[in-house]
Structure 1
């Protein structure tokens, strides 16, 4: 029988919400003007935003601490530039890790003339000594099925998997003092005996492994192991 760890579920419909006519953002944790008592950061995971940007529109962000900023396109591509002088296009099937220092800025633009883009912005606090800001882009195989693929590895570790219905898997923690944040991108999963639907999140602590089962075809899960 699976033990019941300490867990907090973040239902998609209960996320914070910011919107203008050209941009929509859902916040799992407190962000900007959204602030409620029980939405504090989970360990070093400070920001987890699910963003949609209209065609030809841009979003500017300012980082006010030592952060690893992870950008993950889900639908479409992102045009990016930052105060390091880096610029380019980040496409679905790629992930960007921007190791930032306070006062670093970056801008994200939807390059399409008609289509919306959807992406995740994830900020993980870097607890180590300050280092020079740097940017890395990685490509991963988004088509692999029924296994987790490494997404990024900093002080935190990210994994992404696409699963067939009723496929099961286990994620063993690299460090049992860490916590785990699970986010369902598409489909439905049962994670540690808890049912998660699209865009639901689950924070787990005091676990040595995470067991999960896909409940629909082409279900996509994101797992982040991070210091507490």
Structure 2
């Protein structure tokens, strides 16, 4: 078993006024040679966008991009013709494939939007770009794991071009849940959204991250009422 711990205050930090972001892995102006990725998980950005502001039209290719709003509404437009708004409880996935342009803006003029932007390297390169979005029942993650991303359109969650599975959970204090890995040669990156929890005796706090590989399962125990994101990704 191999583990890596990324404490919340060790993340990269940028503040452009309209955008505040914490980076778990090297991104933009933040570069740390020891924080390039966890397996094929390349980016985990914890973003706050000011009212009415956002990212103008820009290109991506050969990357799986997952957006998870935590508070507020984010408007998405892309070169596939999609114009949508994602809000708390939604999950969006975009397969950039051979190339796509998109923009993301805070839909509201009176409140900020907070969201996670996550990049995963694709399984196949130069595929046809695609877009997927779902709305979730928050109650379906209470003291259990709610699958929000998978590689199979017949499974729960948005579909991406990679053998990766993401889950969200809201866990009451004292409750323990078990996660069994689904893939071969995969690892799990745990990101604590709220609260304090323990992963097989390792204590984590709000916005801490922990990567674990070389295991078939793990146990999560909530030390306080907690919210957590689990991302299982290939390690190679």
When normalised by structure 2's length, the TM-score is: 0.90
**Aligned residue number for residue 152 of structure 1:** 149
Distance 2:117 2:57 in 1: 10
Mark the CA change 1:36 to 1:142 in structure 2 (over 3 Å): closer, same or farther: same
**Aligned residue number for residue 203 of structure 1:** 211
Aligned mate of 1:223, from 204, 210, 230: 230
Q: How far off its partner does 1:199 sit?
A: 0.8
**Aligned residue number for residue 48 of structure 2:** 52
Aligned mate of 2:32, from 13, 17, 36: 36
When normalised by structure 1's length, the TM-score is: 0.93
Structure 2 gaps, min length 5: 152-162
In the comparison of the two structures, how many residue pairs are matched?
223
Aligned mate of 1:68, from 43, 64, 67: 64
- Summarize deviations over 1:94-146 as a string: whole Å, max 9, x none: 10010112542221111112111100000001022432101010122212310
Moved over 6 A (4+): none
Aligned mate of 1:9, from 1, 5, 27: 5
- Summarize deviations over 1:164-203 as a string: whole Å, max 9, x none: 0010001000124101110000111101221111111101
**Aligned residue number for residue 173 of structure 1:** 181
Q: Give runs of aligned pairs for residues 128-147 of structure 1, distance below 5 A.
A: 128-144=124-140, 145-147=142-144
- Compute the RMSD of aligned alpha carbons: 1.4
Distance 2:39 2:98 in 1: 19
Mark the CA change 1:102 to 1:30 in structure 2 (over 3 Å): closer, same or farther: farther
- Summarize deviations over 1:3-48 as a string: whole Å, max 9, x none: xx21001111110011111111110000012111211111111111
